[in-house]
C-alpha cells in the first residue's frame, strides 16, 4: 500500500491511500513510532477513528486508508481538521453537487 498508493502529509498526520475494488472504505489509524505511553497512543487512535466517523459521509468510497498520527498536543477538533485537510489534498472528498443527487 505504501509503495503503490498515494501519500499526503500535514502537520501532525499522514494519510496513505490506495483504490480498492470494495464498495466500502477500510481504515487503519496508527500512532507513529515512539509516540509515547499506551494511554496517549490509544487516545490518538480513538480521536482518529472518531474523526473518520464524523467525515465518513463526505469521503469517496472504494479506498483503503492508513492514517499515521504523529505526537503532539492535539485535541479531537484539531485531529478532525487535520484529517479533513488530508482528504481534501488527496481529492477523496465527494463533490457537494454529486452528494445532493
Instruction: Give the integer Cα–Cα distance in Å for 23 and 25.
Output: 7
Work out the percent of the chain whose per-residue pLDDT is above 70: 91
**Domains of the chain, start order:** 6-94 (3.30.230.10)
Confidence of residue 4 (pLDDT cuts 50, 70, 90): confident
Cα–Cα distances in angstroms (integers) from residue 63 to residues 19, 60, 70, in the given order:
4, 8, 22
Task: Please report the pLDDT score of residue 98 as a whole number.
Answer: 47
What average pLDDT is seen over the chain? Answer: 89
Per residue in 66-76, pLDDT (tens digit) is: 999 999 899 99
Task: Please report the pLDDT score of residue 67 as a whole number.
Answer: 95
Assign 74 to helix, strand or coil. Answer: coil
Instruction: Give the integer Cα–Cα distance in Å for 98 and 86.
Output: 20
Work out the percent of the chain whose per-residue pLDDT is above 90: 79
pLDDT at residue 101 tops 70 = no
Amino acid at each position: 500500500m505504501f509503495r503503490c498508493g498515494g501519500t499526503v502529509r500535514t502537520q501532525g498526520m499522514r494519510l496513505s491511500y490506495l483504490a480498492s475494488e470494495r464498495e466500502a472504505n477500510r481504515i487503519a489509524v496508527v500512532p507513529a513510532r515512539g509516540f509515547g505511553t499506551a494511554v496517549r497512543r490509544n487516545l490518538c487512535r480513538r480521536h482518529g477513528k472518531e474523526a473518520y466517523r464524523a467525515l465518513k459521509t463526505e469521503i469517496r468510497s472504494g479506498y483503503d486508508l492508513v492514517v499515521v498520527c504523529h505526537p503532539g498536543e492535539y485535541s479531537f477538533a484539531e485531529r478532525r481538521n487535520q484529517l479533513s485537510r488530508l482528504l481534501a489534498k488527496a481529492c477523496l472528498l465527494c463533490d457537494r453537487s454529486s452528494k445532493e443527487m
